[in-house]
Chains A and B, each alone.
Chain A
Amino acid sequence: MRATILLVCGYLLMVSGYAQEKADYFLPPKFQVGVQLGLSTFSMVDRAVSPLLYQGRYRQVGLQLLYTGNRSRVELSLQGKLGNFAPAAHRGKNVYFRELQEDGSIRETAVPLQGGMLAPAVKLGYWHRLGSPHALQVSAGAVLSEQLLYPQGFVQPGLMNVLALSPQLRLTYAAATRHQFEANVAAAALGLVTRPPYHGTLTQPNENLEQAFLKHNTRFQTLDKLKLLQAELQYQYRMGLRTTAVASYQLSWMREKEPRPLSLAESAYNLSFFYLFPTK
């Protein structure tokens, strides 16, 4: 994926050299819809189920809706991630099951230690530009993010749901009409966290597991127990009047203390293509 990003960015740079630049390409307000594809790698340690460092990869697809006003910007992002994970120190290992067959023979089945991970996410962000328009702009705002981590496997490190409110800061640099760079930083101030309880089981009378998980294990967590940081670098290339290509790298880090510490870090590489809808 890194090589792909490198190639795409190289291509964009090459193309941009020949592009005819127009100053009025991106006059706000404007609406954009974007499609995102990406890969990410993640590492996690969930002491609630295992002392081991787990590492994995996601493939992700996303849909983004963006509104940019004179001073404001609103972004809605829907993302689906599907991946797998394995203990870093025991990759390739299996556990074994022996079953007696009807003819009296024994069949042994090897089941890999790895597991699957499903991780849908939704983000709603708002930014307000600080100061007057310049090539270099600073915006401040907040993002409400919802992230479910649903591992499947023998052990289930990382099982959680987080709804977090994070103040964020954005630095935008319009290097040229067609080229823009952005850097974003966000840190959670408040989180509504769902994780399995201390004993690690979800069963409750009269309830299916999913319902019991959310209903009985959700609590507000403040900064002393939940730390959630995100940083993102973006390069945007205006391909034409209506289309923009975005290559981004996002680094996320989370640590949640209860009932046992969970640490999770993720590097995501995304390519997005936005389509612009002028209002007139």
Chain B
Amino acid sequence: MKTIGILVGLCLGLSLCSCEKGLMPEPVQKNDPVRNFELLWQDFRDYYGLFAVKRINWDSVYTIYRPQVHEDMTEAQFYGVATSMLAILNDAHITLYPTNPELPRWSVDLKDGISKQEDYAFDVVKNRYLQNHKQMGAISWGWLPGNIGYIHVAHFMLKIGEVDAAMNQISADFQEARGLVLDIRDTPGGQDPAGQQMAGYFASEKYVYMRSRKRSGPEPTDFTPWTDWWVQPMGGEALRNTPLVLLTTRFTGSGAETFSLAMRKLPQVVHAGDTTAGAFSDNPSRQLLNGWIFSLSVGDFRDAEGVSYEGKGIAPALVWQNNPADVRAGKDEALEKAMEHLRE
């Protein structure tokens, strides 16, 4: 019994050491403004995918901003320098998330940490124009006056199967539609393959609509090979033969913009509304030593002809901008113009 007791005690003693922390080889780095700045700048050098597209020499940016950072500066001062440096990239896919409640989330398209769309409200569409409203997840559809079908996509954070389920239903419902409005005016983005799949329901033949490449190493010229994005025709005879107005605004971003690239190549589609956000690339999140999180664009996404719209957005063929006062009053002039266009 004594031997067993000793052995059990030995086992317990070893286990209570809980020594996994001692096995971590990474040295704990000092958290101060200088090291955080160096890490932020270096991570952009190592991962950002749009220096060439935006013609920015990141080393020159360092020479301007590094002298502004010192160990004694406050968090607010560091925030000021960091956001000033990041603003140069004019990239709505770059967001800085401080952990200090006094410092707002920062991105070039936010004001005091707030995103506010005034030129569109889906509620206005639902309340004033839409009939027989149906919804499947993020995808809504219904009828507008004049036998016009209406589709709204709240976001593209969808699995391919979810897109298929909704689009099969929509295809069946819109057999007799005179025209279609595809509304992505408040669609912030999501998964590119979801938009790729949805575009297939409007396509008659296979076509390339986008090329993308992403950073593959620490040198700014290190990229993966180009990937071609194809639209493959899916079901939906009615959808591919029906005139369609694609409505966008400055709040149409990311995955909704890559979807726009796919839709704009279709012969029955007219792109209308306002210019899109101009932020196409995937943007994973990374972290600083002070715990702050930031996202950055790691890719270079272009249309089939090799044109990049990063930082600029895609301009519509027909510019129809809503007046915020009209929207507050419950009127959607851009949608009315789309209906009128489809009735002609």
Q: Bits for A15-55, please: 1 = Cβ < 8 Å to B, else 0.
A: 01100000000000000000000000111110101111101
Q: Bits for B202-241, please: 1 = Cβ < 8 Å to A, else 0.
A: 0000000000001111000000100111101000000000
In the complex, whether A251 has a CB less than 8 A from a CB of chain B is yes
B31 with A96: CB separation less than 8 A: no
Query: Which residue from chain B places its CB closest to the CB of A49 in the assembled complex?
Result: B286
Query: Which residue from chain B places its CB closest to the CB of A249 in the assembled complex?
Result: B15
B293 with A205: CB separation less than 8 A: no
| CA A155 to CA B291, docked complex, whole Å | 11
In the complex, whether A5 has a CB less than 8 A from a CB of chain B is yes
Q: How large is the interface on A (under 10, 10 to 19, 20 to 34, 35 or more residues)?
A: 35 or more
Contact residues in B for A251 (Cβ distance below 8 Å): 19-20, 23
Nearest-Cβ distance from residue B142 to partner chain A, whole angstroms: 23
Q: Which of A247-263 contact B (CB under 8 A)?
A: 247, 249, 251-253, 255, 261, 263
Nearest-Cβ distance from residue A185 to partner chain B, whole angstroms: 13
In the complex, whether B67 has a CB less than 8 A from a CB of chain A is no
Given known contacts A94-B99, A98-B113, A106-B114, is B214 in contact with A201 (CB within 8 Å)?
A: yes
Query: Which residue from chain A places its CB closest to the CB of B281 in the assembled complex?
Result: A201
Contact residues in B for A16 (Cβ distance below 8 Å): 1, 4
A17 with B26: CB separation less than 8 A: no
| CA A44 to CA B298, docked complex, whole Å | 24
B15 with A199: CB separation less than 8 A: no
Nearest-Cβ distance from residue B337 to partner chain A, whole angstroms: 26
Contact residues in A for B287 (Cβ distance below 8 Å): 49-52, 87, 155
> Which stretch, A61-69, A116-124, A175-183, A217-225, touches the partner chain B?
A175-183
**A13, A90, A93: which contacts B5 (Cβ < 8 A)?**
A13
B12 with A176: CB separation less than 8 A: no
| CA A227 to CA B20, docked complex, whole Å | 15
Q: Bits for B113-139, please: 1 = Cβ < 8 Å to A, else 0.
A: 110100000000000000000000000
Q: Which of B136-178 contact A (CB under 8 A)?
A: 159-161
In the complex, whether B313 has a CB less than 8 A from a CB of chain A is no
Nearest-Cβ distance from residue A171 to partner chain B, whole angstroms: 12
Nearest-Cβ distance from residue B159 to partner chain A, whole angstroms: 5
A13 with B15: CB separation less than 8 A: no
A98 with B112: CB separation less than 8 A: yes
In the complex, whether B324 has a CB less than 8 A from a CB of chain A is no
In the complex, whether B73 has a CB less than 8 A from a CB of chain A is no
B286 with A2: CB separation less than 8 A: no
Contact residues in B for A247 (Cβ distance below 8 Å): 11
In the complex, whether B197 has a CB less than 8 A from a CB of chain A is yes
B8 with A154: CB separation less than 8 A: no
Nearest-Cβ distance from residue A41 to partner chain B, whole angstroms: 6
Given known contacts A89-B291, A249-B14, is B193 in contact with A98 (CB within 8 Å)?
A: no
A201 with B282: CB separation less than 8 A: yes
Nearest-Cβ distance from residue B156 to partner chain A, whole angstroms: 11
Residue picked from B4, B159, B230, B286, most chain A C-beta under 10 Å: B4
B24 with A43: CB separation less than 8 A: yes
**B4, B5, B114, B290: which contacts A99 (Cβ < 8 A)?**
B114
A98 with B8: CB separation less than 8 A: no
Nearest-Cβ distance from residue A11 to partner chain B, whole angstroms: 11
Contact residues in B for A198 (Cβ distance below 8 Å): 215-217
In the complex, whether A203 has a CB less than 8 A from a CB of chain B is yes
B104 with A98: CB separation less than 8 A: yes
| CA A16 to CA B4, docked complex, whole Å | 10
In the complex, whether B29 has a CB less than 8 A from a CB of chain A is yes
**A42, A155, A249: which contacts B286 (Cβ < 8 A)?**
A155
Residue picked from A5, A87, A108, A203, most chain B C-beta under 10 Å: A203
In the complex, whether B269 has a CB less than 8 A from a CB of chain A is no
| CA A252 to CA B18, docked complex, whole Å | 11
B113 with A96: CB separation less than 8 A: yes
A253 with B99: CB separation less than 8 A: no
Q: Which of B1-49 contact A (CB under 8 A)?
A: 1, 3-5, 7-8, 11-12, 14-16, 18-21, 23-26, 28-29, 31, 39, 47, 49
14 contacts between A and B (CB under 8 A): A45-B24, A89-B31, A97-B113, A98-B105, A155-B286, A198-B215, A199-B215, A199-B282, A204-B193, A205-B196, A249-B14, A263-B24, A265-B23, A267-B15
With A96-B105, A207-B193, A235-B8 already in contact, 16 other A-B pairs whose C-beta atoms are closer than 8 Å? A9-B8, A16-B1, A43-B24, A44-B24, A50-B287, A93-B291, A95-B99, A106-B114, A155-B285, A199-B47, A199-B49, A199-B284, A205-B196, A233-B11, A255-B25, A267-B20
